[in-house]
Structure 1
Amino acid sequence: MIHFDLAHRKVHYPDDRRFRIWIDRRFVYAFLLLVFAAFAAAWIQRIGWGLPHISINPDLDQGKISGPHGFPGWIRWTHFFNFLFLTMLIRSGLSILMDHPRLYWNDDCTANSEWIRFTPLRVPTDRIWTAKDDARYITPLVGLPGYRHTVGMARSWHFINVYGFVLTGVVFVVGLCTTDQWLRLVPTSPAIFSEAWATFVHYATFTLPPEPNGFYGYNALQQLAYFSTVFIMAPLSILTGLAMSPALVNRAPWYARLFGGRQSARSIHFLMLVGFSAFIVVHVTLIVLTGFTRNMNHIVLGKDAASSLGLWLGLTGIAVVVCAWIVAHLVAWKYPRRVQHAQKAISQPVRLATLNRLSPIHTYTRDQISPRMWPNGMLPLREDWKALRDQGFRDYRLKIGGLVEHPLELSLAEMEEIGRSETISMHHCIQGWSGIAGWGGISLAKIIELAHPYPTAQTIAFYSYGEGLYGGTYYDTQSIENALKPGSMLAYEMNGSRLKEEYGAPLRLRVDNQLGYKMVKWVERIEFVESEKVVGKGEGGKNEDDEYFDLLPNI
């Protein structure tokens, strides 16, 4: 148990820590029907015709070896590291999920339209209910780093491990393709499907089928399971992860539509997590049931032997992975800044070279606008903002200063006279929800043109009337490069009407190649500065300072 001060305890360890899973009954019925149909067919076949015959491939007879056999060192080591990285991804992914514990098949994320939720709460309709209000607690025994609203640190661990997962996968696939080991996994005949069904009938009727020695090959059902895990589930988990990138989706909306939309991709991403978890459980169960000691010798030592050395070394390896979970949890809470910086050092160069180069193109239409977008953040408590709100922001003036030749103060009317920019784009929140909205305002390119920043100014800091989660003025920064991308603006209109207060009135920032927390609401003033390092704690924003979010969240 981590000991929190009062402010952090309120956020991370709330009184309401209930956990519930609710699933749309249509999906429950469909799943149960599929499972029942498969098991019923298996039992009907057994009762009516007996257990189907399963012939062992003669190539898998250790006395007649003609195909691949054994486990080379590259297989054994990638197996271990894949287990490490995959379980770290699952644990951090669950913490990310609980920051918006609802999954949808629609990109609007309309309240109570989810197909599954991991919270006992329905969205209340009698008051403003923000996305942060909706975040739920997850025990650190399951999630990394666990507790509630720890999405910044969870993302850091997720992205650190995803590179290890991808690299391990590349090494494994290259090894398969450059040796004959691919024959273990890749089906070469359609007959494998009938053989896999015969094997399933045995399992479904609680009978172990004839098992080949795993040192030499797998039965048909195992081969299909391994093939699906390596060549379908792993790539699909990566591709659906990319479909949650605002930079990619607002540049190429068609990419997310390959998976049914951004939220469908998020749902599929979760189902891959479930699939990997189920695979691990079934995989380990079968290893135990079909000769635990011998199987551990295969994958740990690369030997077809009956000694207990492989078993003990394998259990030691599992213990190392569990210790890695514990260490990652402790480091997340003891040294969060170091984890944030480690993730930045790994991820930011990749993003700068790839996703950050993409400029948004806006192809959404008015009929795609979401009926409602989740509000987020606390309304400003400052009396000057309330006074401006009460008179319709008539006397509001945006202050523009810092390293500029022409400091400015602009009213909303003056901004309209300068020129109106419009866009319809998808908003992506770090918590996981999305929504499509039309925005109207003054482009950041026009502000840059009018203020004429000095060459030393590379960053723009946007300051809010609102506060951060732990108090203090909310702010965030954007590079001038991103501020000049299409659609970047200070919006005073949303969906054809004046911006409402819960969405950031009088002005909110829009930069469509990044996640929503970078888009400051209730903007009071902006300053041109040399770098994000000279503002706040030097991390690039209030959430980056206090909650360890990313400086450049293109995904």
Structure 2
Amino acid sequence: MDVYGFPAWLRVEHWINALFITLMVRSGIEILATHPKLYGRDDSRPGSEWARFTRKTMPKDKLYDTLDEEESYSPIISLPGHRNLGMGRHWHFFVAIGWVLAGVTYVALLFATGQWRRYIPTSWGILPQAWHDLLTYLSFRLPPHLPGEPFDALQKLAYALVIFVLAPVAILSGLAQSPAVDARFPWFLRLWGGRQRVRSLHFFVLLAFLAFTAVHLLMLAVWGWGRENSLMIFGHGDAPVGGLWVSLVIIAAIIGVNIAVTVWSLRRPRMVQRVLGAVVMALRRALLRPATSHQHYPKAAVAAQHRVNGKPPDSDTYKIMAVHDFAPWRLTVGGLVENPVVLTLEDLRALNTRQSQCVLHHCIQGWSSVGEWTGLPLRDLLDLVRPLPEARYICFLTMQDNGRDEPSAPGEGHFYEIIDLELAHHPQTLLAYEMNGEPLPIEHGAPLRLRLENQLGFKMAKWIHDIEFLSDYRLVGDGMGGWREDNVHFDMEVGI
């Protein structure tokens, strides 16, 4: 019997972790594909990226938006591939929940059973020993294992870094990209150097996991694939032939699961959206929705150029309103309210409350930008119209017709978004009619757009002309809570 054997729970966790990592890496690549550029500054200024994973070049003689910058990666490397950000996010967060729970269980059992001694060095002497082991490997020789342990010093140090440094950094850098977390705790994002630097760090974590996996597989081959896998399958190294074949079966099963979820996502995206979303959105509602925004960026942080997401309405009616500074525009507010109203832009400006906020915009694609927004707090509109007790949601209908204005996007019909009535009471939920001290530009939603600082940017409907209070969002469109939710399978709750 091998003295280096691993307990059953550790062996099971090892293979579960292998499955989770493959799914998270592939879905992470799908998320990266939607904006395949990395920046060092939060303004995400076009041309300032330090890394790009696309050959696309954007036109300089006409308006383009960030949807035009998206890439379509192969399902071989991304989950599910073919420009499916919604599906990629569902899998990334669903698997991340399982990975974190498995990781917490793993670490707890490490300390409860004393197995932590296998992975955590207890002496600084491991550092020179690890360096010596590295030189031994580079000379194409195998260093000795540490006395009574299954690893050499370099391997032990590598496992300690992956388990107790790399994995926590992956989790925390993911949380630091949450608009809800960043809005409620701006200091937490500052610890990481800003939104784009932490996004870049998260990418480096992905590369680190890939590098570790590649070296890990190489070490298995060098030390003896059969015996090493026998240790991690049977708990001892006495069955190298069995370890070889069973490990190949497990690897084939992991590949099979990846293929199955990819095919399922491409063929039945609505089912995936409902099944995974039920878990992910429930957790978001519980943990992130209560987070109210406390952002107060200095005006010096305002980006000189704010990226455009979504093309403006291309109708004669909208163009005529724009030419006349939106004087003919009317905002209709109705539905389940005591006092339905129709307001002009001047009416909105004449209401008693005028609020400005300098905040960080988080796009679901990954880019960000700081801007100053001025307008009417949505809670004040609620005071004016007085929602009925049965009202639970607010629908924002816009003048953008996606079949006409965004022909490259799947689906047709006017863009709309729905939010929970609870979010309307947050202090920085705003109906904005100014941006950076000027009237709201056309490309950013004139004459009126929503600002919802603890959610991702696509929820902040632009070119609004109608607001309706509802009892059930499932009665609108395809019933998923918004145009992008209906057509590209985004989440309705997007605090991360």
What's the CA shift string for 1:337-391, capped at 9, x where partnerless? 1211122211222212211111101221111111111101122122211211121
- Counterpart of 1:302? 235
Letter in 1 for 2:475: V
Cα displacement (A) at 1:214: 11
Residue 287 of structure 1, aligned match among 220, 226, 229: 220
**1:335 and 2:268 are equivalent in the alignment:** yes
- Counterpart of 1:58? none
**1:363 and 2:288 are equivalent in the alignment:** no
3-state SS of paired residue (1:299): helix
Contact 1:112 1:122 (C-alpha < 8 Å) held by counterparts:
no
Contact 2:449 2:461 (C-alpha < 8 Å) held by counterparts:
yes
Distance 1:520 1:479 in 2: 14
- Counterpart of 1:254? 187
Residue 434 of structure 1, aligned match among 347, 368, 371: 368
Distance 1:357 1:307 in 2: 53
Letter in 2 for 1:434: S
Residue 106 of structure 1, aligned match among 38, 41, 44: 41
Please, which moves more after superposition, 319-328 or 345-354? 345-354
- Counterpart of 1:492? 433
What's the CA shift string for 1:169-227, capped at 9, x where partnerless? 112111111122111110111111101111111223x4223242999321111111111
- Counterpart of 2:21? 86
Distance 2:478 2:165 in 1: 43
**1:240 and 2:173 are equivalent in the alignment:** yes
What's the CA shift string for 1:511-538, capped at 9, x where partnerless? 1110011010111111011021121111
Distance 1:115 1:97 in 2: 14
What's the CA shift string for 1:478-507, capped at 9, x where partnerless? 111101101111111000001111111111
3-state SS of paired residue (1:108): coil
Cα displacement (A) at 1:280: 0.4
Contact 1:463 1:473 (C-alpha < 8 Å) held by counterparts:
yes
Distance 2:250 2:398 in 1: 50
Runs of 5+ in structure 1 lacking a partner? Answer: 1-60
Letter in 1 for 2:452: V
Q: Cα distance 1:105–1:404, how it changes in 2: closer, same or farther (>3 A)?
A: same
Contact 1:105 1:115 (C-alpha < 8 Å) held by counterparts:
yes
- Counterpart of 2:76? 141
Contact 1:108 1:370 (C-alpha < 8 Å) held by counterparts:
yes
Distance 2:244 2:401 in 1: 55
**1:552 and 2:493 are equivalent in the alignment:** yes
Contact 1:111 1:123 (C-alpha < 8 Å) held by counterparts:
no
Q: Give TM-score scaled by structure 1 length.
A: 0.86
Distance 1:117 1:356 in 2: 33
Distance 2:56 2:190 in 1: 30
3-state SS of paired residue (1:250): helix
Contact 1:401 1:528 (C-alpha < 8 Å) held by counterparts:
yes
Distance 2:299 2:145 in 1: 60
**1:529 and 2:462 are equivalent in the alignment:** no
Distance 2:276 2:494 in 1: 12
3-state SS of paired residue (1:426): strand
Residue 316 of structure 2, aligned match among 361, 383, 386: 383
Letter in 1 for 2:18: F
- Counterpart of 2:54? 119
Q: Cα distance 1:214–1:471, how it changes in 2: closer, same or farther (>3 A)?
A: farther
What's the CA shift string for 1:425-482, capped at 9, x where partnerless? 1111110011110001111111111111111111110001002332201000111110
The count of residues paired between Structure 1 and Structure 2 equals 488
3-state SS of paired residue (1:285): helix
**1:173 and 2:107 are equivalent in the alignment:** yes
- Counterpart of 2:413? 472
Contact 1:101 1:117 (C-alpha < 8 Å) held by counterparts:
yes
Distance 1:316 1:214 in 2: 32
Letter in 1 for 2:438: S
- Counterpart of 1:516? 457
- Counterpart of 1:202? 136
Cα displacement (A) at 1:128: 2.0
Q: Cα distance 1:407–1:301, how it changes in 2: closer, same or farther (>3 A)?
A: same
Letter in 2 for 1:523: I
Distance 2:416 2:92 in 1: 25
Cα displacement (A) at 1:105: 1.6
Letter in 2 for 1:302: G
Contact 2:35 2:69 (C-alpha < 8 Å) held by counterparts:
yes
Letter in 2 for 1:107: D
Contact 1:214 1:295 (C-alpha < 8 Å) held by counterparts:
no
Contact 2:133 2:154 (C-alpha < 8 Å) held by counterparts:
yes
Distance 1:180 1:221 in 2: 21
**1:73 and 2:8 are equivalent in the alignment:** yes
Residue 357 of structure 2, aligned match among 420, 423, 433: 423
- Counterpart of 1:347? 280
Runs of 5+ in structure 2 lacking a partner? Answer: 403-408
Letter in 2 for 1:377: G
What's the CA shift string for 1:118-163, capped at 9, x where partnerless? 0123554433221111111211110001112x11010011111111
Distance 2:459 2:66 in 1: 16
Distance 1:346 1:213 in 2: 44
- Counterpart of 1:40? none
Letter in 2 for 1:270: F
- Counterpart of 2:259? 326
Distance 2:163 2:339 in 1: 58
Q: Cα distance 1:214–1:127, how it changes in 2: closer, same or farther (>3 A)?
A: farther
Distance 2:443 2:141 in 1: 60
Letter in 1 for 2:326: F
3-state SS of paired residue (2:184): coil
Percent identity (aligned): 39
- Counterpart of 1:17? none
Contact 1:71 1:215 (C-alpha < 8 Å) held by counterparts:
no
Distance 2:57 2:124 in 1: 47
